[in-house]
Amino acid sequence: MTPASEPILFNDLAAAYQEHKSALDAATLRVLESGWYILGQEVRDFESAFAAYVHVGGCVGVNSGTDALLLALRALHIGPGDEVITVAHTAVATVAAIVLAGATPVLVDVDPITFTIHPAAAAAAVTKRTRAILPVHLYGHPADLAALGAIAQAHGLALIEDCAQAHGATFQGQRVGSWGDAGCFSFYPTKNLGALGDGGAVVANDDALLQELRSQREYGWTPAQRYVSQAQGMNSRLDELQAALLSVKLAHLDAENARRMEIARHYTALLGGLGDQLIPPVVRAGCTHVFHLYVVRTPRRDHVLAALKAQGIGAAIHYPVPIHQQPGYRDAVVTHDLAHTEALAAEILSLPIHPWLRDDQVARVAAALLAALR
């Protein structure tokens, strides 16, 4: 196959493995031979390294990003009768975690430029039952954490960051996950920092909260006594193998994020200038966007998507149906004005982006997209 006709993958996890193969193989063997597979030294080492990376006091490794959000809510004692303000324009996991905690998701609109929660909309949705604001750093672009922090402080609310798509992103020079009471990460394999299975983590500065999270992830046990639950908890442990693999990959996160940003700059240079016909992503001043996804906006989205697919180019929609319109969740949420959210869902298109995408592939994707709009 010539480079001009080869399929272009949306993501390439096999390439990621090949890139780090010897270190990943060695880490795997180390864990297999250790005879210790759950919550051991590998998890402790990864938790320390990731807390240092995010610049927070501590990190608690858990089973998934969904569990990270659920455990953060539970550890902050948010549950039935409480409202949590978040967005409808997100992965369903954000809202699923709030529902699993027994609280009510209150969905507000996004800023149409960054596709992240609109601070004024969040402020307008606060009621006497509101307990938390849960911004999502969608696609890798930080939400406006300064404005949201001020709103949370003014109303005595918790700020819980959904960082599942934004490992390493910064707002005013400070890593996402370190602004809120808790920062929740997913290590799903496609994420910027991805395990080779499920995984997640909560980061926080408050020691009491970190202790509560550790207890919650293992049935409500405490370090002083196993097999006796001091509170109600669950099983959401990060395993040794995933922790060892994540430690290998964490060392490369900044370099891989830098390559994602470089690819994004190439795309934007090639795709700009078409006005409303094609709007490339915007990076707000004071933010670094780590481009988990590179999402353009075009009124001819379905036509463009079909044209790319016909040429073997992997493109996708994140997300096609806002949460308040999904059958499983529409009756579980309270909604505010979601005009931007609903307009976006019909126009967004995610182009291939991952650290192993070559410049000639970026150029081919861009050319195919421009040709489809001609």
Ligand X SMILES: Cc1ncc(COP(=O)(O)O)c(C=O)c1O
Q: Which residues bind ligand X (CB under 6 A)?
A: 64-66, 90-91, 93-94, 136, 162, 164-165, 186, 188, 198, 200
Cβ 291 to ligand X shortest distance, Å: 14
Distance CA 49, CA 67 (A): 20
Question: Nearer to ligand X by C-beta: 288 or 350?
Answer: 350
Nearest alpha carbon to residue 361 among 326, 311, 317, 323: 311
C-alpha neighbours within 13 Å on the C-beta side of residue 198 = 9
Residue of minimal Cβ distance to ligand X: 65
Cβ 354 to ligand X shortest distance, Å: 15
Strand blocks (E) in the chain:
58-62, 83-87, 104-108, 130-133, 158-162, 170-171, 174-175, 182-186, 200-204, 287-288, 294-297, 334-335, 348-351
Distances (CA, A) of 99 to 53, 54, 94, 192, 331: 30, 27, 9, 26, 11
SS3 363: helix
The token duo for 18 is 């090949």
Question: Nearer to ligand X by C-beta: 16 or 369?
Answer: 16
Cβ 218 to ligand X shortest distance, Å: 18
Question: Nearer to ligand X by C-beta: 178 or 221?
Answer: 178
Question: Nearer to ligand X by C-beta: 338 or 368?
Answer: 338
Cβ 305 to ligand X shortest distance, Å: 20
Cβ 97 to ligand X shortest distance, Å: 7
Cβ 183 to ligand X shortest distance, Å: 12
Angle, in degrees to the nearest 10, between helices 65-75 and 92-100 = 40
Distance CA 193, CA 190 (A): 8
Cβ 102 to ligand X shortest distance, Å: 18
Nearest alpha carbon to residue 57 among 171, 178, 160: 178
Question: Nearer to ligand X by C-beta: 92 or 270?
Answer: 92
Question: Nearer to ligand X by C-beta: 66 or 130?
Answer: 66
Angle, in degrees to the nearest 10, between helices 240-250 and 21-34 = 150
Cβ 300 to ligand X shortest distance, Å: 26
In this structure, how many other beta carbons lie within 10 angstroms of the beta carbon of residue 302?
13
Question: Nearer to ligand X by C-beta: 123 or 201?
Answer: 201
H or E element in which residue 207 lies? helix 207-216
Question: Nearer to ligand X by C-beta: 163 or 304?
Answer: 163
Task: Give the chain's end-to-end CA distance (angstroms, integer).
Answer: 27
